[in-house]
Each structure stands twice: as structure tokens, then as C-alpha cells.
Amino acid sequence: MNKLPLPLRCYNEAGRVVPSTWFTLLFFWGARVLLLLIGTLVLDEGNNLIPKQLFPFSWQLPAHSVLGVVFLGLWLLQGRREAFWNKGYTLTWLRPTVILMLLVDISLQIGAIILTHGTFNLLRGLIVLISLFFLFYTLRSKRTNMMFEDWKTVS
């Protein structure tokens, strides 16, 4: 008898491996700057103190905003994977793009740490650690690896 490598809840009706909650959270983590900007617009009443404290250098906010838009776009595209499959396209580009965006995010944070001459900043350290967690999750998770292998084929 063939046994499924993952629990039944990890598959959709068509038998495809669905993204895990952690994989979805990865996209929202990457788009955290956009969520922060929305929260700032709603709560900060025009002071813009929150972005200035989190992004002291002028290049940081635009760079992280572009990164957030890319993560949001990747999340929307992976949500439309059935439409890609119906047109005969595969999603082999998604995994390398996610890994590259996580590496860019980590590089931007480490660059900011270097520019502040290694001054201790708990928030920046937590951001780097959480981004590293998501990077290792993307590289090492059994379910994520099976999902990407499954998505290479067109149904």
C-alpha cells in the first residue's frame, strides 16, 4: 500500500501540495515594511516618527518598500498558481526568487548594521534572525521542498 509522504491536510482536492502557513507568513514578513507604512499612515498622524526611527538612512525605506512590493507580488502570483498551470506554465522560478529576496533582505539589514558601526539594535538583530529562519525554512523544509517539486509539473 502506498503511503502519502505528508498528512492529507497538506494536499488540495487535485492532489497538489499546498503552501504551509509558514510559507504564507514568509511573504507577509517580506512585505512588513508595507504593513508598517499603512500602520504609520493610519496611526502616526503625519509625524512620520516610526519610519524615521526604524530607517535612519534615506536609502533604507525605498529599498525595503521595493522589497515589500516584490514579496507582495510573489504572494499574489503563487496564489494564482492554478491559472499558471492551466496555461502550461510552471512555477520553477518561485523558489530561487524567494531565496534571493530573503538574501537581499538580510543584506540590507546587515548593511545598516555596518553603517551604524555595529551599534547594538535589538530590533535589527531580531529582523536578521527571523529572516534567517525563513531562509533556512525555505531551503530545508520537507513540505516546502515537496511543494516546489510538485509545482514543477503542469497538470
Q: Which of 14-23, 110-119, 145-154 has the lowest mean pLDDT?
A: 145-154
- The pLDDT tens digits of the residues spanning 16-29 come to 899 999 999 999 99
Burial of 119 (0-12, 13-18, 19+ CB in 10 A): exposed
Picking from 97, 79, 87, 99, the residue whose alpha carbon sits closest to that of residue 24 is: 79
Which has the closest alpha carbon to 81: 22, 152, 26? 152
User: Do 23 and 98 touch, CB atoms closer than 8 A?
Assistant: no
Percentage of residues in the chain having pLDDT higher than 90 = 45
pLDDT tens, residue by residue, 40-94: 878 767 677 777 777 778 888 889 999 999 999 999 999 888 888 888 888 889 9
Cell of 76: 499574489
What pLDDT does 154 receive?
Answer: 67
